[in-house]
Structures are given as structure tokens and as C-alpha cells.
Structure 1
């Protein structure tokens, strides 16, 4: 994919359309940002100024967007004064928004069984990707989404009716919006939530992968976003099941457009180890590049 540049990243005074609160200080914010909405891709993010007296912007992954209506949605959890200020936004407020930024997921049509794994505030890019795949009529995608959280999920869980081979049918908590689009989903948590798989989302994924028919194996690719321990576990699944995996990294960042290099991370390239900026070189990277040591590569 081409790198973002000045003609694809837009500075907009986005208008707040809605702010919905969920348990554990989680919020879903809908913004009218037509230029961003027209170009957003799953895995891209926006850099928001949370308040006039807080100059440092906050990067938030895009959860959903409607290019025709000109809006985007983001999910955030209060961490620090910036996001606390953002949680006080009201409908009609204006928020300085920079985006869409970053290299998103690149789904492989040769592997239509896209296994989407999201953890915590890393769920949004995978929700977005699931919706895009469900709407793509050019390829017969068969996405499956697994989400994990140790706090209540930022949506009202439903009961999954779409079958998933190899999983306990009693563990049927799902993301209902994806279920309505024909995307099977299941939820995982160690917090004892009703209907959830009692473990990490990567363990749930491992159970599903282990139960796959042999002729389906070569049709699967992994896509994930979440905390680093989770992404490392996803890379381990990719190694153990010999599958390609794309990881969307979450990092603190300052400028968000590649100028400061404050979000640089070490990755393995064809030319050897290198530092790459999560904001514009990523946030999506191949699992082999992020965790080369798991694949027997030099780091």
C-alpha cells in the first residue's frame, strides 16, 4: 500500500454527532468527518485534539465509518486527562481531527477465511474489517471474529446463532452487529461474563484453529489488534499453525504523521533489522516482522 501523504490525511473540524458511554469508562464517539470517512480503511486511525487546552493529540483507531453519510466512530477508554476531557464532549461540539492515518490491513483474497482477533480497545479495527469484508461482493469472504475483554464489552452482547465448528455451543456470547451481517463471532473473558469463553481470546482462536478441517487450513489468515502480550500470542498461533498474520500495533505517539519518530518500533525487513514508525509505516505489520524471534529469524 502507498504511504499516507498530504493528499490523503485531512485536518477537519469534526462535529460530534453522538457519545455513548459504556461500563469501565469506555466510550463510543461518532464524528461527522466526511473527508476522513471517505478514505478510512480498517486499521487506519485518527489523531484527535481532546480539548483546546490539551495540545497533545490522541490516536484512536477507527471502529466504523459511513462514507456516504460522512461519519466515523472511535472507541476509547479513559486513560489520562486528554481522554477524560474527550469523554465530556457533547453533540454539536467541534473536535480537531487529523486522519485517516496509517497503513491498514490488506486482506488476502486467496485466504478468504479471515480470523479476526481483537482485545480490549484493540477491537475497533477488527470490527471495521469484519464489516468491510461482509460488504465486499467481489470476493466470497468467510470472516470469523473473536473478541476478548476483562471489563464489560463496549456493546450489548448477543447470543450467536451462526455455527462455529469445534467450539462449545454453550459459549455463545457474540457481537450482535457482526452476527446480523453474517459474520460469526464469539467473546472471551476471564471475568466470568455469561456465555463467554473462559480464557484469553488467543486460546479461543487456538481451539477453533485446531478443530478446522485440513482442507480449510490453507484458506485461513489472521488479523489482530490488542495489547502486546496478546499480539505476541497471535504471532505464536501463526507460527504453530503455519498461517500468515497481520498485526495492528498500539503505541503512544506525538505527531502522528511520521515527523517525530516517537512511535518507532524494531521490525525485521528483507534488508535486516530496522526501526519503523507505527503511525505511517504501520500500524499494521506482518507478525514475522514484529516478532522475528518466534519464527527463527534474526532480530
Structure 2
């Protein structure tokens, strides 16, 4: 058996596009039939997609949901450049190459039963995947805080779950998570109805302050989003003495550790080191990341 963590675990599949839905602000939800990826993907892992035959370089996309039995994998992405712009044109019935799952996923700790899932923008998908896993495990009490400065790629609805410590009127929630029995709240600076007017970390701080010390001992942060958000999550975790895992998003060419184009500085017991986001991450302990 190989001692290399990603040997024989990354699959390349000729995947059929099953569904492709457009949302406001150039956001898309893509579902493909990639059964080998679906069978082994873990929350926090990603896939490398060939966006179009005329574009050789693939694009990394975080995995949002999977169904191992049906064999599908789902992604939420924003079309921001040539690659994702071409991907946005792909239609159901077409085929594209999917390489995955890739990367080190999130790690759940049984002694930390109050996970807080913090997602910003296109960092929301890994939080949905993690929520899907947590709802199937007994004893966990997750709470999701999701932020966006463009319209959310879903129709928010008022939460039916009371969450102590939050301001009155902050009731907007992600319907999918609510259907799973996982309380969620949305934040934005754009004045969307029911959303907290502020950053995700502002709302998490209020929630933490209302939590009894005995329950705070069971909290762990899981986060994905833009670097300023992750830096703020890391600072909040340090302030309250809460462990945090963050998923980094970087541009990458090969996504399998060969090109070293996605390296970030990480503090290790031996001193600072450059680690590859694709295979050493994308998930790292927050306190080790040098922003």
C-alpha cells in the first residue's frame, strides 16, 4: 500500500452534465455524473474540471454536494474569467472531464460537537457539503453562517429555528440547511431582507458571546471564503480560544502537487514551510496559516 496520501485516490472521469442552473450575479450550480469522484469525495475536497475542449488548463471547483448512490457531484461556482465563462455555456447531455476528489478534507473531532460552518461567497459549497455530512452523524449541533455581497444563489426563507444571541430580525436562512434541520443565518452589507448587516464574523461573535462557557468548549470553526474573511475567522478563533480549520482557495495549474503554483506559507513544528494548497490542503489548521 502506498504511503503517499493521494496515490490512487484521484480519478479522471468523462462526466455527463446532468443539470446546470444559472443564478444572479453570474453564479451557477452544476451537477455532473462522476460516480468515482462521488464515491470518495469528502467535505473540503475539490475537483479539477475541463471547462471546454478549446481550453487545456482545468479549473478547480469546491464540491458542494454528492450522491454516491446516484453517482453525481454538484458544484456552485461564479463565472469570473475565460475558463468559468466557457464552463457556464455547458449544457445537460454534454460531457466534460472531471478529475477528483483532490485535497485534504476537513477533520471532525468527536469532542467538538458544536461546529460553526462559516462560508463566504463561493466558499459556501464546502460548508454545505460538511453540513450534509454532519446531519447524518449523531450528537452534533452545527450552526451555519453564510455571507455574500451578491444575491445568494438560492431564495432565502425565514428560519424556523431560534438561535440565542442573534439580533432581532436576523432570520434569513438557507432553505436546504433548514430542511436538513441545521440552523443557518445569512449576512451581507447589501441590505438583503432578514440578513445580518455586517460580516460573518460579526454574527459568529454575537453567537459565541451568548453561549455558556461549558458549551463554548465544544465549538470548532470550519470556514471557506476570501482571504480577508479567513484572516478574520482565524483572529476570532484565537480571541475566544476556539480551534479552527480553514479551506484556502488559490489559482492552480495541475492540482496534483506537481507545479507548486498554489503554495502558501505555513508554520510547522520545524519552522515556516511552503505548502501546496492542492494536495497539502486545501484545509489547514487556521493558526498555522501565514496571511
> So what's the TM-score if we normalise by structure 1?
0.95
Q: How many residues align?
A: 289
Q: Distance in 1 between matches of 2:180 and 2:166?
A: 21
Q: Distance in 2 between matches of 1:166 and 1:85?
A: 44
Partner of 2:79: 78
Partner of 1:217: 216
Shift of 1:6: 3.6
Partner of 2:91: 90
Which runs of structure 2 are paired with 1:219-298 in the superposition (5 Å)?
A: 219-291=218-290
**Root-mean-square deviation over aligned CA pairs:** 1.1
Q: Does 1:99 align with 2:135?
A: no
SS, match of residue 135 in structure 1: coil
Q: Distance in 1 between matches of 2:271 and 2:4?
A: 21
Q: Is the 8 A contact 1:17 1:92 kept in 2?
A: yes
Partner of 1:66: 67
Shift of 1:193: 0.3
Deviates more, 1:35-44 or 1:163-172: 163-172
Q: Is the 8 A contact 2:6 2:279 kept in 1?
A: no
Q: Is the 8 A contact 2:265 2:290 kept in 1?
A: no
CA-to-partner distance for each residue in 1:52-104, whole Å, 9 max, x for gaps? 01011000000000001100100110111110110011101101010000001
Q: Distance in 2 between matches of 1:238 and 1:131?
A: 23
Shift of 1:291: 3.8
Partner of 2:43: 42
Shift of 1:3: 5.6
Partner of 2:206: 207
CA-to-partner distance for each residue in 1:238-294, whole Å, 9 max, x for gaps? 1110010000000000000000000010000111100000000000000110048xx
Shift of 1:156: 1.2
> So what's the TM-score if we normalise by structure 2?
0.97
Partner of 2:162: 163
SS, match of residue 238 in structure 1: helix
Q: Distance in 2 between matches of 1:32 and 1:221?
A: 33
Partner of 1:14: 15
Q: Distance in 2 between matches of 1:4 and 1:45?
A: 15
Partner of 1:121: 122
Q: Point out 4+ residue stretches in structure 1 off by more than 6 angstroms.
A: none
Q: Is the 8 A contact 1:3 1:281 kept in 2?
A: no
Shift of 1:4: 4.1
* Structure 1: runs of 5 or more not aligned: 293-299
The verdict on how the C-alpha distance between 1:197 and 1:108 changes in structure 2, with shifts beyond 3 A counting, is: same
Q: Distance in 2 between matches of 1:102 and 1:4?
A: 9
Q: Distance in 2 between matches of 1:291 and 1:198?
A: 29
Partner of 1:181: 180
SS, match of residue 197 in structure 2: coil
